Amino acid sequence: MLETTLSPTNPARRAMIDSQLRTSGVNAPFVLSRMNAVAREDFVPESTRATAYMDRAIRLEGGGALPAPVVQGMMLQEAAPKGDEVAIVVTNGSSYLAELLRPLVAEVIELTPADATSAGTGGKPADLLLVDGAAEQLPESLLARLADDARIVTGVVEGSVTRLAIGRKTDNKAALFPVQDLGIPRIGAFDAPKGWSF
């Protein structure tokens, strides 16, 4: 029973589940169970541990950011991971999303944005990609690591708006469908090249 699964937790984590996740439509039992089990405060700088469960992104050392809890809850719910899959998580300075996903799939491969923009090292193509931030474009080198028809869950940047998007790898491209406008920290390494303008 979900209630039994969620009962032993700290009050801030329980408040996050009840007042942020559930009220935003994040109700999948596996998501709530994982977000109850993983201590979010362990993935932020010491100075922000007291605010780790607030409904906002947290800036991290090195320039990355940990999205608000509801962003990662929605990402995990949309991903609907299967136990036998290989998953790639592109981190944005924190391994929190990868840790949420880890027991739900066969293997989690964590990549930094810099890793994702370099050539892959081979291995089994991934069935699932989660990008823990918003991207203007997903690098071809990252898509090359995915199996054909692999599922993708990412934030996307369109002008000044960020959205949660889901899709699949099709013809070596990411075919994405925006799901919801959300404040998702941008991954600068995934910005599209800027052309000349006059």
Residue 197, pLDDT > 60, answer: no
- By DSSP bridging, strand 173-181 and strand 161-170 are antiparallel
- 43-63 pLDDT, tens digit per residue, is 999 999 999 999 999 999 888
CB 81 within 8 A of CB 58: no
Task: With CA atoms as reference, report the closest residue to 67 among 183, 166, 178.
Answer: 183
pTM of the model: 0.91
Mean pLDDT of the chain: 91
Residues 6+ apart with CB under 8 A from 137: 190, 191, 192
What lies within 8 Å, CB to CB, of 144 at 6+ separation is 119, 120, 172
Question: Average pLDDT for residues 64-80, to the nearest whole number?
Answer: 97
Exposed / middle / buried, residue 124 (Cβ in 10 Å: 0-12, 13-18, 19+): exposed
**Which domains are assigned to the chain?**
2-186 (3.40.50.150)
At 125-163, the pLDDT tens digits run 999 999 999 999 999 999 999 999 999 999 999 988 999
